[in-house]
Structure 1
Amino acid sequence: MHNAPAAPPAAEDHLVLEQLGKSFGTANVIPSLSLAVRKGEMVAFLGPSGCGKTTTLRMIAGLITPSRGRITIGGRDITHVPSHDRDMGLVFQSYALFPHMTVLRNVAFGLEMRKLSRSEVRARALRALEMVQLAHLADRKPRDLSGGQQQRVALARALVIEPSILLLDEPLSNLDAKLRDEMRVQIRALQQASGITAVFVTHDQVEALSMCDRIVVMKDGHIEQFGTPTEIYERPASPFVSGFVGRTNRLSGIADRHGVITIGDQQIRAASAMTGPVEVMMRPHRMRLLAAGADRPSPDDGQNSLRGVLERQTFIGDLVQYHVRVGAAEVVIEEATRRDQGGPAPGTPVDMTWQASDTFVFPASAS
């Protein structure tokens, strides 16, 4: 999805990018990107490596000069304003703490650069550490902290200067799975409590879906979709978004003008006016295997069904995945596990079903 010309900024828009672009030599990394972030919301730039999300964040931060376009904050044009004059708090993937300074001095550093009184610097730095529940570690050095604690120090250092915008670059990628879960909750709670506008870069869909008000899904320097987590997940704008955000099954078919889609020698229905070759996509957890001997549902009841052959069954703790061969394609069905988990044997013909409303249809050329 290429970007339409930017609409006039709305009153509630705080950070506005207007036809922002960046080229490195002959490589046009960001052709033209336009969007508006509202005051007080948290927005994620989500996409695979090389899609342009980090370049965009670094242009917002003033660490990279745009080749074209404009950046405004609260109506003020900051496109060519130096990074240190942009009133932004930055949290890097590497934390970038000063190893020779105490935790308190690390947090106080930005305030000291602003020439505030010693008493005010200390009071504000301690308040910031209290906010991230680390005031009791104020006199320690970064090397004495865990990864999660170091991340919270970096967050406190960014927030203590009371910036207009908080920028986070892959802030949780260096943490283990349990710490990532904890920090997602803490960062979101701090952002909501402070009311600060926050923008962060991630390739992790769980971070984006669980933490953000809206998500920018990027591909090849373009915005594929910009919307709420629910919109992105439930109404993906392209096959790329459907496949990148959440797990999905993908089948090829031929659609007629009545919403009937032929897949091999079988037919399903979808609320689509497309005709000709299409890509059909369904979420694995919205599908289920029919019990042996059960009647296949009727499309007239809003249910789709397909017949295939079970190839294998994979147990992954809270879920069991059934891998079903449908023609040349494989369809995965995910169901909650049970203590007495059984299931058909590999090689068994099986029927699967799902709601017709849970069927995404895209032109085959959109892939």
Structure 2
Amino acid sequence: MMHQTIKGSGVETVKDPYLCLEGVNKKYGLIEVISNLNLEVRKGELIALLGPSGCGKTTTLRMIAGLISPTAGKIAVGGRDVTHIAPHGRDMGLVFQSYALFPHMTVARNVAFGLEMRGLSRAEIGVKVTKALGMVQLEHLAGRKPRELSGGQQQRVALARALVIEPSILLLDEPLSNLDAKLRDEMRTQIRDIQQQLGITTVFVTHDQVEALSMCDRIVVMKGGLIEQVGTPHEIYEHPATPFVASFVGRTNRIKGIRNADGGIRIGSSTIRSAVSAEQGDVMVMVRPHRVQIDWDLTRAERQDETANRIAASLSRITFVGDVIQYHFDVDGSEFIVEESTMKSQADHHPGKQAMLSWSVEDTFVFGANQ
């Protein structure tokens, strides 16, 4: 079953929610950066706040942490209203994008800092710090200073410092954005493994769709201070609720069409169909590049499966992207990209060559032209 929000309301009811945001707004003067945000997070769930810069995801995280106060609305954890409680009273661990480690302290002292502020004994602190560093595989670097560590190691220290206080909620503010691609892959796996091992409720802010899709139980897609859609990675990718979600989470082709009374969608001289109904008139058709098949033999293409959507196209250019080849076609004056594995040959394909493109009716997203 598909679960999604209605744009702007952010309403998705979950069973036994642990973290709840109800009607949360945030204004800076006359500028509203978060509008009527409602969100429920299950205990032990990892969710991503995903969206472009300026969409309000970090502001939302900072309100959950208590670093800034909402203009209106309520934030509750385990049924307890924490809206006006200071950060240190919320039992949350926060990992910043910039790591925010103390440069004059060793790794062990950085991790121990929160425990020292809580007045634990030296013996208790020692046990907990060793355990936290063990989780992130940094016990052997306990005596080093932050400047002696790599970016990935510093990020793991910041994670250990957030976890050592055993918070009820872990908040991660784009923690991987300063790492190179290989380290991001490694840290994604490590963070997810630790989160599942501890069963800790986690909110993860990112603008990277790969991080959200690969790490999280659910994704909250945001735009302009509103929630566009909430759902599992599969729901968000396969059943986008808006054109923005379809284009932001994964690559898509966009092409204008006109929906007829019989449900068919006219694009130039071709007519295609979708599995989802829409109103008559101008529509926006979206199709993911890797879901499209190319048939260069036009004679054979005419005899192909009539249940698939098919449309004539002219090749404009070819782009090699390592693991895939991108074929750029002209379809009724619009660019239409098809991606194929580099295992397939691109021999004898040149600009101007004609082809027939086909894809499943179920892979056809259709939205109103004004959405």
What range is the shorter-chain TM-score in?
Answer: over 0.9
- After superposition, the Cα gap between the structure-2 partners of 1:84 and 1:327, relative to the gap in structure 1 and judged at 3 Å, is same
Q: 1:208 aligns with which of 212, 220, 226?
A: 212
After TM superposition, list the pairs within 5 Å mapping 1:166-315 onto structure 2: 166-274=170-278, 275-296=280-301, 301-315=306-320
Q: Which amino acid aligns with 1:327?
A: D
Q: 1:40 aligns with which of 16, 40, 44?
A: 44
Structure 2: gaps (5+ residues): 1-5
The residue that corresponds to 1:336 in the other structure is 341
Residue 353 (str. 1) matches residue 358 (str. 2): yes
Q: Identity of paired residues, percent?
A: 61
Taking the aligned partners of 1:251 and 1:10, their CA distance within structure 2 comes to: 36
Conservation of the 8 A alpha-carbon contact between 1:54 and 1:201: yes
The residue that corresponds to 1:112 in the other structure is 116
- After superposition, the Cα gap between the structure-2 partners of 1:281 and 1:137, relative to the gap in structure 1 and judged at 3 Å, is same
Taking the aligned partners of 1:252 and 1:332, their CA distance within structure 2 comes to: 15
Conservation of the 8 A alpha-carbon contact between 1:17 and 1:69: yes
In the comparison of the two structures, how many residue pairs are matched?
365
Conservation of the 8 A alpha-carbon contact between 1:254 and 1:276: yes
The residue that corresponds to 1:59 in the other structure is 63
- Cα deviation, 1:304-351, whole Å, max 9, x if unaligned, reads 111111001111111000000012200000000127542521111111
Taking the aligned partners of 1:34 and 1:163, their CA distance within structure 2 comes to: 23
Query: What value does the CA root-mean-square deviation take over the aligned residues?
Result: 1.6
Q: Which amino acid aligns with 1:197?
A: T
Taking the aligned partners of 1:78 and 1:264, their CA distance within structure 2 comes to: 56
Conservation of the 8 A alpha-carbon contact between 1:46 and 1:218: yes
Q: How far has the Cα of 1:3 moved from its partner?
A: 3.9
Aligned with 1:295: secondary structure? helix
Conservation of the 8 A alpha-carbon contact between 1:60 and 1:71: yes
Q: How far has the Cα of 1:250 moved from its partner?
A: 0.5
- After superposition, the Cα gap between the structure-2 partners of 1:114 and 1:236, relative to the gap in structure 1 and judged at 3 Å, is same
- Cα deviation, 1:212-255, whole Å, max 9, x if unaligned, reads 00000001110000000000000000000001000000011011
Q: How far has the Cα of 1:91 moved from its partner?
A: 0.2
Aligned with 1:353: secondary structure? strand
Taking the aligned partners of 2:162 and 2:294, their CA distance within structure 1 comes to: 50
Q: 2:156 aligns with which of 140, 152, 155?
A: 152
Residue 121 (str. 1) matches residue 121 (str. 2): no
Taking the aligned partners of 1:289 and 1:11, their CA distance within structure 2 comes to: 45
Aligned with 1:106: secondary structure? helix
Give the TM-score normalised by the residue count of structure 2. 0.95
- After superposition, the Cα gap between the structure-2 partners of 1:298 and 1:192, relative to the gap in structure 1 and judged at 3 Å, is farther
Aligned with 1:59: secondary structure? helix
Q: How far has the Cα of 1:288 moved from its partner?
A: 1.6
Aligned with 2:196: secondary structure? helix
Taking the aligned partners of 1:10 and 1:362, their CA distance within structure 2 comes to: 27
Aligned with 1:365: secondary structure? coil
Q: 1:29 aligns with which of 11, 33, 36?
A: 33
The residue that corresponds to 2:3 in the other structure is none
- After superposition, the Cα gap between the structure-2 partners of 1:277 and 1:204, relative to the gap in structure 1 and judged at 3 Å, is same
- Cα deviation, 1:256-300, whole Å, max 9, x if unaligned, reads 233210011211111233211110000000002113245336797
Taking the aligned partners of 1:232 and 1:297, their CA distance within structure 2 comes to: 34
Conservation of the 8 A alpha-carbon contact between 2:7 and 2:229: no
Aligned with 1:50: secondary structure? coil
Aligned with 2:40: secondary structure? strand
Conservation of the 8 A alpha-carbon contact between 1:324 and 1:331: yes
Aligned with 1:150: secondary structure? helix
Conservation of the 8 A alpha-carbon contact between 1:306 and 1:352: yes
Conservation of the 8 A alpha-carbon contact between 1:259 and 1:272: no
Structure 1: gaps (5+ residues): none
